Amino acid sequence: MGEKKEDKSKVHKLALRGSSKTVAEFFEYSINTILFQRGVYPAEDFSAVKKYGLNMLVSNDDQVKAYIKKIMSQLNRWMVNGKISKLVVVITSKDTGEHVERWQFDVEIFNKPNKSRSTKMAVDKENAAPDEGDGAAPPPPGKTENEIQEEIQAIFRQITASVTFLPVLDGDCTFNVLVYANADSDVPIEWGDSDAKEIKNGEKVQLRSFSTSNHKVDTMVSYRLAD
């Protein structure tokens, strides 16, 4: 009996690791897709790669690549250990310093044992602001890899289509990534506490979600109304 339990535990850990990798990869491609679709960087700074059965665009800019790599390196560790509750991409006007767009990805972990405190962190330092994590949730019925990929495809198609309703971004913009991680997470020294960088008087649009056997990711965009 003991051997069977150990095997089951190994299978669960492998499933969690695979699910965490799926979610982390989704975040990485989401960041690149948002930067391209919203024109934060010139189109010529991106190259096409095949992913999820789609032509995805990823940045060739060395600074952007290094920044995303630093985020993803830490995010992968936190994901495997069930420490993440949200990832947020904030687009900010360089001219005014105002946050004009905020893409939020809420992460729900199935069969999470208890509630946990979360804190928002970014690579730049801001004021701290804690947030409550989600409690346990039942897992969805088993899905095939194709079904998960189709759900992810639908989200990327929505992100691409969002240019039809999102206001044109005026002037030069920059971006920041916030990660909501449990308060007991090991945090690298270059990561600092951050405020939520909310959009003042913004509109919110809920987009599609996708789920694996271990995680569910909901997507939402907030944006500043045109003057």
pLDDT at 190 (0 to 100): 60
pLDDT confidence bin for 39, thresholds 50/70/90:
very high
Does 142 have pLDDT greater than 90?
Answer: no
52-93 pLDDT per residue, tens:
999 999 999 999 999 998 888 888 888 888 888 889 999 999
pLDDT at 17 (0 to 100): 78
Per-domain residue ranges of the chain: 2-223
Q: How far apart are CA 176 and CA 98, in angstroms?
A: 12
Of 71, 78, 64, 66, residue with least CA distance to 21: 78
92-138 pLDDT per residue, tens:
999 988 999 999 999 988 765 444 434 444 543 233 333 334 444 55
Q: How far apart are CA 92 and CA 174, in angstroms?
A: 5
Quick one: 2-223 is in which CATH superfamily? HORMA domain (3.30.900.10)
Q: How far apart are CA 86 and CA 32, in angstroms?
A: 17
pLDDT at 126 (0 to 100): 32
pLDDT at 83 (0 to 100): 80
Of 129, 128, 132, 130, residue with least CA distance to 114: 132
**In the chain, what percentage of residues exceed pLDDT 70?**
73
pLDDT at 138 (0 to 100): 55
Tokens representing 214 are 């271990």
Dihedral sign (CA 118, 122, 125, 126): negative
Residues in contact with 187: Cβ distance below 8 Å, sequence separation at least 6, in sequence order: 121, 181
Please state the rounded mean pLDDT for residues 172-193: 76
Task: Tell me the backbone φ, ψ of residue 48, rounded to 5 degrees.
Answer: -85, 135
pLDDT at 19 (0 to 100): 83
